[in-house]
Amino acid sequence: MADQFAGQVALVTGGGRGIGANIARELAEAGMRVATAARTRDQVERVAEEIGGLALEVDVSDEASVRRMVEDTERELGAIDLLVNNAGIGVRPDAPPIWEDEDAGEWWRVFEVNVLGPYLCCRSVLRAMVARGGGRIVNLGSGGGYLPLTPGKVGSTAYGPSKAALHRFGEVLAGQLEPHGIAVFTISPGLVRTSLTEALGDDAPWTPPSLAPQLVRALASGRADRLTGRYIHAEHDDLEDLIARADDIVEKDLSAIRLRRLIP
């Protein structure tokens, strides 16, 4: 339905390429007015021109830049109904281990973009959302935040921990916002082939790139709001099944990253 979200406004960070660009396309197809924002101006301009949206240049780790992004979106498109925190980075694959010559500034930059960025974006859009008593936020998480380590392929000590922090941030924020009628979700897009993951090669178990955008569109509809604060995987979760079992999921605290202790 091209007019499913007619009149609603979405703001997508990291929207100049890859998953973010596809999310922006999906939401525009659904009838939303979409602002797509990223650090690289020409990339977001191309996406915005394609979907008839608004292109914005932003550094999500900079509070003033985020504030301008939100103000420009509200001025040009109207009140923001959906925030998609997609902007994210990882440490380069050939970065040395922390006890050698790893750049501490590069390591911390991952947290600035992947955790501080969503925090600043949420804080900026929530002032108006709370006043209106409605809105939705979708954070793009990653299996790197909870999957067990693979011997010999441990990877960066920055990316996975930053995504684990993002999930917990979204879960706590959802609890704060539930009385205000605002839902927060953290999703995993699966292993989508992008410039960030390209080094994994042709044999990796790639996730179809359409799944995460379709999930964001479904979450934007409000039908899954009972699942606020939950972690949803674009490839491995059936959203309709989760919606049908929402009361049981909440009661049993399922679809969440938890430490489960075995008591003899």
In a domain, 40, yes or no: yes
In a domain, 24, yes or no: yes
Residue 80's pLDDT is 98
Residue 150's pLDDT is 66
In a domain, 259, yes or no: no
Query: Is 159 part of the annotated catalytic residue set?
Result: yes
DSSP 24-39: HHHHHHTT-EEEEEES
Containing 215, the helix (H) or strand (E) segment is helix 211-220
Residue 84's pLDDT is 98
pTM value is 0.93
CATH number of the domain bearing residue 121: 3.40.50.720
Residue 151's pLDDT is 62
Residue 2's pLDDT is 55
Sheet with 82-85, strands from edge to edge, namely 54-57, 33-38, 9-13, 82-85, 135-140, 182-188, 231-233
Predicted confidence (pLDDT) per residue in 86-95, tens digit:
999 987 767 7
Count structural domains, the chain: 1
Annotated catalytic residue within 119, 146, 159, 231: 159
Total residue count of the chain as it appears in this document = 264
Question: Which stretches of the chain score pLDDT less than 70?
Answer: 1-3, 93, 149-154, 196, 198-200
In a domain, 1, yes or no: no
Residue 75, amino acid: R
